[in-house]
Amino acid sequence: MRKKERYEKVIAWFQENVPVAETELHYNNPYELLIAVILSAQCTDKRVNMITPTLYKDFPTPEALAATTPEVVFEYIRSVSYPNNKAKHLVGMAKMLVNDFQSQVPDNLEDLTKLPGVGRKTANVIQSVVFNKAAMAVDTHVFRVSHRIGLVPDSCTTPFSVEKELIKNIPEELIPIAHHWLILHGRYVCQARTPKCATCGLQMICKYFCNTYKVTKEESKAKNK
């Protein structure tokens, strides 16, 4: 299957079967989402959602978070991964928001990645979710699913190379929702250890499925007519 055709069929399937796809992190404003995304690094959204309500309540503004210490924040987030580093990042992020950005979350990659705890992936999530920009955040789910389906070649060995390939081939207006399509598909269907191929609607479009189960080109074409 040619790359263009695969992208078209994958997008069409998601549009029909997953018309609504959005972040599973709970938040009420850009500042809260920034906190949640920083906490979600190498941690589940479910765990993050368990601890953020109290954090949001006690530190409702960047000023409030900037005025506390990492030691205090640690007690709120001790159940997430790497709580020491994340506590320092959260306080440092809040201070920079207050001092450099008038307490507003920036809307561009350059400024976002200046914030402590914010790398390219986190910045792209904020740009996409908050500002609806054509930014593709590549986490482990997006990286895995993109390779398995065959949206990116094996030569894409870094998150950045996967990001560039996806952005090049997905229509700009669909990139924000496509980010969630791939994440949710990786989280619930195309799982790392035991992908649910038997019930996956992308079977005959998927490079991994066709190779694993020895699907011939003729069978794939017949199924995809």
- Residues 50, 14 share a domain: no
Task: Give the pLDDT of residue 149.
Answer: 97
- Residues 90, 62 share a domain: yes
Q: Would you say residue 217 lies in a domain?
A: no
Q: Would you say residue 224 lies in a domain?
A: no
Dump pLDDT digits (tens) for 158-189. 999 999 999 999 999 999 999 999 999 999 99
Dump pLDDT digits (tens) for 45-81. 999 999 999 999 999 999 999 999 999 999 999 999 9
**CA atoms within 13 A of residue 192's CA, in its CB half-sphere:** 6
Phi, psi of 68 (to 5 degrees): -100, -170
With beta carbons less than 8 A apart as the criterion, state whether 156 and 204 touch: no
Q: Would you say residue 188 lies in a domain?
A: yes
Chosen domain end from 86, 101, 129: 129
Say how many C-beta atoms besides its own lie within 10 A of residue 143's C-beta: 20
- Residues 203, 166 share a domain: yes
Q: Would you say residue 222 lies in a domain?
A: no
- Residues 119, 165 share a domain: no
Residue 156 annotated as binding site: no
Residue 190 annotated as binding site: yes
Chosen domain end from 129, 157, 174: 129
Q: Would you say residue 166 lies in a domain?
A: yes
Residue 197 annotated as binding site: yes
Residue 206 annotated as binding site: yes
Position 218 confidence tier, pLDDT thresholds 50, 70, 90: low
Predicted TM-score (pTM) of the model is: 0.89
Task: Give the pLDDT of residue 1.
Answer: 83
Domain of residue 183, CATH code: 1.10.1670.10
Domain that holds residue 174: 1-19+135-211
Q: How many domains does the chain have?
A: 2
Active site residues: 121, 139
How far is the C-alpha of 192 from the C-alpha of 203, rounded, in Å?
16
- Residues 170, 83 share a domain: no
Position 223 confidence tier, pLDDT thresholds 50, 70, 90: low
How far is the C-alpha of 140 from the C-alpha of 108, rounded, in Å?
23
